[in-house]
Structure 1
Amino acid sequence: GVVLALSGFQNPLRGHLRAAATAMGAEYRPDWTPECTHLVCAFPRTPKAARARQQGGVVVGARWIWECQKQGRRLSCGPYLLDGSASSGSEGEEADEAPPPPRPSPKGKKGAGPPQM
């Protein structure tokens, strides 16, 4: 399963990310620990992101959570990876700061329950 920590996000966005991830079955940790599998970062080049990579974690942008939520399933991290190199330009960072998508309408809540991570 997914065990994640968040880095670089302020409330209310931080709370929205945490709620979206846990609603899909992810476990949340307030700080990066060795048991974490994913670090969701606002910025790719931070000490926390470097430590997560050194410990084998996957560092992704917030868009990964929003897209998993939108599609109702856990997606590959590949397109959402923040590699920490200069090639991760500011355009990607700005996109990760975007507010959460609109809440689904009541008719969208029919079905088998929340998507799973």
Structure 2
Amino acid sequence: GVVLALSGFQNPLRSQLRAAALAMGAAYRPDWTPDSTHLICAFPRTPKAARARAGGGLLVGPAWIWECQRLQRRLPCGPYLLDGSASSSSEGEEPEEAPPTPRPRPA
């Protein structure tokens, strides 16, 4: 599951992000911990972001939370990754579905 921490957000936005994530089943940590999987951050160049990167975490923007909430499902992190984070093909990340390959039409 998702275990997240937040970085760079002030209340009320911080509490809104936390509440949205918890409502979808994520666990919250007030700081980056060894069991954390995602850091939702406003800025990718902070000490907390550096700890998350060093711990193999995914750094994503807040849009990831809002879009997951809007669609009521966990979305791949790829489009929401912030600079310097692991790629979307990281272990533990759900693969994105490839678009169907167009088939040539008979002549």
TM-score (norm 2): 0.77
Q: Could you give the per-residue CA deviations for residues 72-111 of structure 1, whole angstroms, max 9, x where no partner exists? A: 10000000001249xxxxxxxxxxxxxxxxxxxxxxxxxx
> Unaligned stretches of 5+ in structure 2?
86-107
Identical counterparts, % of pairs = 80
Q: Which amino acid aligns with 1:58?
A: L
User: In the alignment, what sits opposite 2:65?
Assistant: 65
User: In the alignment, what sits opposite 2:8?
Assistant: 8
SS of residue in 2 equivalent to 1:25: coil
In 2, distance between residues paired with 1:83 and 1:53? Answer: 10
In 1, distance between residues paired with 2:55 and 2:30? Answer: 17
Q: Could you give the per-residue CA deviations for residues 39-86 of structure 1, whole angstroms, max 9, x where no partner exists? A: 00011111111110111000000000000001110000000001249x
TM-score (norm 1): 0.70
Give aligned pairs, total. Answer: 85
> Per residue, is there more helix in 1 or in 2?
1
> Unaligned stretches of 5+ in structure 1?
86-117
In 2, distance between residues paired with 1:58 and 1:46? Answer: 14
User: In the alignment, what sits opposite 1:19?
Assistant: 19
Structure with the greater alpha carbon radius of gyration: 2
